[in-house]
Structure 1
Amino acid sequence: MKIVVDAMCAEFGGIRTYVDQLLAAWATSFPDDEVHVLVPVGSTISPDVHVRHEVPVRRPVAAGRPLAQTAVLRRLTRAIAPDAILATMPSTTLRRTSSPLAVVVHDLRHELRPQQFSRARRVLRRISYGRSYAVADGYVAVSARTLHDLHELHPSTRQRRSAVVHHGADHVLTWPVPDRTGPAVAFAHHTNKNPDLIIEAWALIAEQATPPPLLIVGVGGAREALQADLDQRGLTDAVRLAPYLPEEEFRGVVSVADMIVFPSDFEGFGIPVVEGMSLGKPVVIGPERATLEVAGGHAVVMDGWTPQALADAVLEARQLDDVAVAAARTWGRTFTWDRAVRQTRELLQQL
């Protein structure tokens, strides 16, 4: 196949992990495919494996990027006649192309949890995502939960082909050899990760016993408020805050984590869940549809959204035996990027 991958919106975070791993697996699983990748000028995505097209974007980026995507995809489609185009985010060309277009849908949190976004970001996503849903010929949803949300909120998408394609997790097999000598790891890079809830739960644990060490990573603008809360509760020795970590450091931290604490109230997929399981870590999650889906019954699930529910789940996870942890690891390792590539490619072939 000849495929164009629009990775113009994939520079950071979970979407960057998705694109990096998908492209690497594509080169391994289908070495005869011709894959063209659109990236911003200066991007480090796919430096060697596929055909790169660096695209200049005028400022402001919010307006310049979709205009650049539209122009470049039209020109590239005419020049190479790809079999299909894969947009790795629902922010892509504003116009239909002569080649079929599939859009990857990660989540619809901005519509279902609008209070977690600024008004400007909600407006921008509504416009760009809505247009992408309209021009797409098919959709790759990263979970059944995401596909359900897409169909419910945008009923016209039900008329087009779609596929649920879970992320892989086997990239962790290249990380440092895992053990459980480090602290528990939680996340704070978005408000849906609920760092306040985590700190309250640790305070409850501390009332009964010495709380387990905890590292909360991805702490940004809320750092002062979170640190003040820790100071007030006397948790400064038990809980540390860290910013976004460089990739190598992050891998090392997670590889030695005692457990993964992930009480997110909204996910499209929840890749730390399967990463943690694949590394042999107990994983704690909330009763949230996407993380329940990908955990497959192998995580410790809070029985509600209270600090006590999280504290109880953490204490339960600390008591998991080797058999339960091994079963979770086996489950986590069923999530492979080869499978993700094959399922994505199958949808593109159908289109």
Structure 2
Amino acid sequence: MPEPLNVDEFEAAARARLTEPVYDYYAGGAEDEVTVRENRAAFQRIGLRYRVLVDVSERDTTSSILGTPLSFPVILAPTALHRMAHAEGEAATARAAAAAGVLMTLSSISSTPMEDVAAAAPGGAKWFQLYHYSNREISEELISRAHVAGYEAIVLTADAPLLGRRERDLRHPFAIPDGIEAVHFKIRPRTSGVNDSPLSDFLNQPSINWTDLEWVHAASPLPVLVKGIVRADDAKRALDEGCAGIWVSNHGGRQLDTSIPTASALPEIVAAAEGRVPVIVDGGIRRGTDILKALAMGATAAAIGRPQLWGLAVGGQVGVEKVLELLREELSLAMALAGCRTIGEIDASLIA
């Protein structure tokens, strides 16, 4: 098979290597998967008003977020169970992120202990994603472990009081392969497409509310970002609660189907943030032009979820590095063609 030229070709190559249930677990969304498709389509519908006659012979893609330097403004979003894609799992992903100069967000549903992931890439920047659990001892332990292991922030997922109905997982049904587990819970889920697994006992927390965010703030010595925001009023409330950042996300279309695509939600969240904290956006980002559009609409960084898994499945650490380098090169070229020499020159005037 020839070397993939873009993220879609990495996905096709990954699909050929993964079992159908594992591929569908990674790729699938809720119900009719309208939001999965719309996340991508919303970015594609945005037109770019490029500048001309700008000397772009030298370009600088570097940026930073919460004091962490980035080789380009991309973050690896939290995604579950990387060892289903490659034997080295999250450790390989962490090494790739460090080599590429980007930040990795480790999922609570990791198949590699957070300490091992940190040790695999000691120089890499890492955040830890947290689901909040009714048993606060679990949350407190995970926050403490992340702090001790050198993670630099906690990302609280706020859009998953219950798991969405993921029909691909129900159809097969999906089961985690032998020898792999959600190591932070020391249990092995039966399925993830319906709320009947031991892990869902932890993830299904319909009572989660703003007081739980207050508790996470109090329990965490690290900055806390909130992930899953698509409304300005929720963004303002999160800021009032002292959050260090807003992550615009609809969980990759895996929760409430027909929810607003993130590209459509982003402008009002940026306006609500008023420059007080960084704003991250994920969902459907597959091209350097998508990153350019996200930045032009005011995002501090774009986050990618599934693309890192496709790279991991195709080539382990090297595969993830190739995906990241591909996106960096695409962004650099898009900047040149749009008349931007630095990330700071990307602004709202580019958006049609």
TM-score, scaled to structure 2: 0.29
Between structure 1 and structure 2, the one with the greater Rg is: 1
Report which of the two has the higher share of strand: 1
**Which structure's relative contact order is higher, taking Cα pairs within 8 Å and 6+ residues apart?**
2
